[in-house]
Chains A and B, each alone.
Chain A
Amino acid sequence: MIKVQNLTKTFTSHVKEPGLVGSLKALVKREIRTKDALKSVNLTIEQGEIIGLIGGNGAGKTTLVKILAGIVHPTSGDATILGFRPWERHNDYRKQMSLIMGQKAQVWWDLPALDSFILLKDIYQIDDATYKYNIEFLAETLMVKDQLRTQVRKLSLGERMKIELMAALLHNPKVIFLDEPTIGLDISAQKAVREFMKNYQREFKPITILTSHYMEDIKELCQRIVIIKEGEFVYDGPLSDVQKLVGDEKVLNVTTQEESFKINVPRSELSQKTKEVLEQHSVLDLNIHDPSIEDIIESIMRNGVGAS
């Protein structure tokens, strides 16, 4: 179980004007800027649950993941995962945890995947039988059996991501952090990774926190989502309830001779608004539908809850 209480992380950085003059000024007097990456967030996740962490760039997703993985120390607040405080980096915690970052490779580029795996076997003290079974099972389901003996840098991006997944799951982690696992992958590779994670989750029931910019990932894998904006959680609940956030609203899709646009309209004003649109524009096409989950999340990330 993951329990996060009032977790806060503040980064400080120096502001420096560009150029030589700026550098000299910075030597004498430095302006310090603080940025709250996380503002007192709370979160509870049960064993077996997978949650989707959604937010724009710099919203604090990765910071949260890095604190929970024990890489970064929080400024204040507390968190326990499986009974451990992550940033104390207890070996018993680290043995049960895994982190996969789509943008940072963990396997060694110059080596065939199998070499990296053997190293991981000794690092995690995986016994021979488990190791053999996991290699077999993971390579089979991810369909990378023929790539294990090739130097990783010679593999395609999609194949490399699958190898990363294998490397991260060899030790049967109970807690998995998946940070943008499908970034940069083509559609079929994205689909394969998604499909795999779905089955893996169903079979082994780890706690998983998934961050992704692709709504497909989230929709496919997570029942529960947390939306983070400027370091604060603006929504934590079932994905299916997101629609309720915006109340009784409809989306008008309008195409005219010149342009096409979207307007969000409360249901009560729907006929009035439609009439106005039809009168003011020469409409080629018009349709009315419920806002999609993408629309709602985008609107929340832009405007916050209840202000769409």
Chain B
Amino acid sequence: MRRYFRLYLHFLRFSFSKAMEFRIDFTFRIVMDLIYYIVNILFFKVIYLHTPMLAGWSEEQLMVFVASYLLVDAINMTFISSNMWWLPQHINRGALDYYLIRPVSPLFFLSLREFSANSFLNLLIAAGFFSYTLFTYSHPFSFLELLLLLTLLLNGVALYYCIQMLMIIPVFWTHSSRGFIDLFWAMGIAMERPDRIYQGWLRKVFTVILPFSLVASFPARLFLEKFDWETFLHLASVSLIFWMLMLFFWKLGLRNYSSASS
């Protein structure tokens, strides 16, 4: 564990020194992400001009939810997403070779090697907005409830990562350039909507099959509303199953890895 922590510190150091070299990209990314945040917030603000409640939440509550998924997104963008971008190419071009021969988990290496120093500032902004919505939230909440929200959001990051991985792992067989990751990005917007707006089979899709609603909406609901075990257990069990599925298919993929010849 300590060794992995040390390795991660190296990753951080490399990423920051690399990012400093490309300053234009640095500012560009910050501006892009800021626009993304503002669009997301305004989208819901506009809706609340027409209705006082949406999916059972007031505007103030909904902003906690928006801040939650923006935070999950920022964490994902900063720590994980660059790695997900490279992974299919590594698999196809045979660049996994050097990760597989090291006495370290290749999954750890391939998932966390690229830290996006460029997105780090955005993570601070997202965290700032998240804190702001909680500070201004008019209902009182306990420290324990806050801790639960944070834990569930971290779980949301892990789940979000698992879904991405499950879309990428088929590359071991298809050798396509991106796997099903486009599906992930097309459906990913489901994460940015309160889960209650989905009913019937669509609800099953987003809470079980592609559980985007569990990433931020379920945690926000458990925090904003009365805690209920059913929602919590649903969230916990689907998350666990997805984690195990991801590990299972990852191992299966490695078995099938043919390593493009040099």
- Report B117 CB to chain A, min CB distance, Å: 13
**A56 contacts B by Cβ under 8 Å:** no
0/1 per residue, A265-308, Cβ < 8 Å to B? 00000000000000000000000000000000000000000000
**A104 contacts B by Cβ under 8 Å:** yes
Q: Which residue of A lies closest to B93 (CB)?
A: A104
Contact B95 A71 (CB under 8 A): no
Chain B residues with CB under 8 Å of A179's CB are 262
Chain B residues with CB under 8 Å of A180's CB are 262
Chain B residues with CB under 8 Å of A125's CB are 3
Select one of A70, A108, A122 contacting B101, CB under 8 A.
A70
Contact B95 A104 (CB under 8 A): yes
**B185 contacts A by Cβ under 8 Å:** no
Chain A residues with CB under 8 Å of B97's CB are 66, 69, 71, 99, 101, 104
Within 8 A of A (CB), among B64-112: 94-98, 100-104
**A264 contacts B by Cβ under 8 Å:** no
Chain B residues with CB under 8 Å of A72's CB are 257-259
Contact A118 B10 (CB under 8 A): yes
Chain A residues with CB under 8 Å of B7's CB are 119, 122-123
Contact B100 A89 (CB under 8 A): yes
Q: Evaluate whether A99 and B101 lie within 8 angstroms (CB atoms) in the complex, with A11-B258, A62-B261, A104-B95 already known.
A: yes
State the interface size on chain A (CB cutoff 8 A): 35
Within 8 A of B (CB), among A63-113: 63, 66, 69-73, 89, 91-92, 94-95, 97-99, 101-104, 106, 108, 110-111
Q: How many A-B contacts at CB < 8 Å in the complex?
A: 70
- Report A190 CB to chain B, min CB distance, Å: 18
Within 8 A of A (CB), among B9-67: 10, 13-14, 17-18
- Report A130 CB to chain B, min CB distance, Å: 16
Q: Evaluate whether A104 and B262 lie within 8 angstroms (CB atoms) in the complex, with A71-B257, A94-B102 already known.
A: yes
Q: Evaluate whether A62 and B262 lie within 8 angstroms (CB atoms) in the complex, with A111-B14, A115-B14, A119-B7 already known.
A: yes
Q: List 28 A-B contacts (CB under 8 A).
A: A58-B261, A62-B261, A69-B101, A70-B101, A71-B96, A71-B101, A71-B257, A72-B257, A72-B258, A72-B259, A92-B103, A94-B101, A99-B97, A99-B98, A99-B101, A101-B97, A102-B262, A103-B262, A104-B262, A110-B14, A110-B18, A115-B13, A118-B10, A119-B14, A123-B7, A123-B104, A124-B102, A124-B103
A-binding residues in B (CB < 8 A): 3, 6-7, 10, 13-14, 17-18, 94-98, 100-104, 255, 257-259, 261-262
12 additional contacts (CB under 8 A) given A94-B103, A110-B14, A111-B14 = A11-B258, A58-B261, A66-B259, A69-B100, A72-B258, A91-B103, A104-B94, A104-B98, A110-B18, A118-B10, A119-B10, A179-B262
